[in-house]
Copies of this chain bind each other. A is one copy, B any other.
């Protein structure tokens, strides 16, 4: 075998562990030991600690000093808060966007929505592809209004939500519904209807979590920290 297309041990370790966490091979709550990983990948502690540090930053694992490192459980309250934050911010951003957008930009958005419609018909379609397009579109208003830093912060904070969405893949996602939302948002923007927009956006961003809730309580309860109040 040709070896060494690796280039970076800590990155390899990081990617592998992350993939195993997202793929639920390492389940929320499970312990992972530094030394085990060292042996498994046949590397010293340095790259392993590097990888774990990155995973910790992103919230995939948590380390209890002198005790162990664990795959984090999902936290429904945090996910809800992130959505709340995103609704608050994005509503404002789109309102500003409405005031300054141009026909050229609106054409870009329309094009993006069309791409979304097209991609779900591809034969090698994967949900991940759709979510990339989704992100691109939502990024537009932040871009145009000069709020990319905010968009970055939201994205960084959203990792828990990303894992949540991975569970979603295991059930099913109604992409047609999402696209319909996008079209409604687009309409509101065209009509400069800020009040209607606020409603639609809120519904749109809250949608997946509301829909997933029953699935979760049945199939994934152990993957969550909290029981389901509020």
Binding site for B on A (CB under 8 A): 57, 77-78, 81-82, 84-85, 87-89, 91-92, 146-147, 149-150, 153, 157, 230
Q: A153-B157, A157-B153 are in contact. Are A146 and B85 (CB under 8 A)?
A: no
Establish whether residues B85 and A150, one from each chain, have CB atoms under 8 Å apart when the complex forms.
yes
Interface of A is mostly: helix
Q: Hey, which chain B residues are within 8 Å of A87, CB to CB? A: 92
A114 to chain B, nearest CB (A): 30
Q: Hey, which chain B residues are within 8 Å of A78, CB to CB? A: 149
Q: Hey, which chain B residues are within 8 Å of A150, CB to CB? A: 81-82, 84-85
Establish whether residues B77 and A149, one from each chain, have CB atoms under 8 Å apart when the complex forms.
yes
A153 to chain B, nearest CB (A): 5
Known pairs A81-B150, A85-B150, A88-B92; list 13 more (Cβ under 8 Å): A57-B57, A77-B149, A81-B149, A82-B149, A82-B150, A84-B92, A84-B147, A84-B150, A87-B92, A89-B89, A146-B230, A153-B153, A153-B157
The residue on B at minimum CB distance from A85 is B150
The residue on B at minimum CB distance from A87 is B92
Residue in B57, B85, B147 whose CB lies within 8 Å of A89: B85
The residue on B at minimum CB distance from A57 is B57
Give Cα A92 to B201, complex, Å: 15
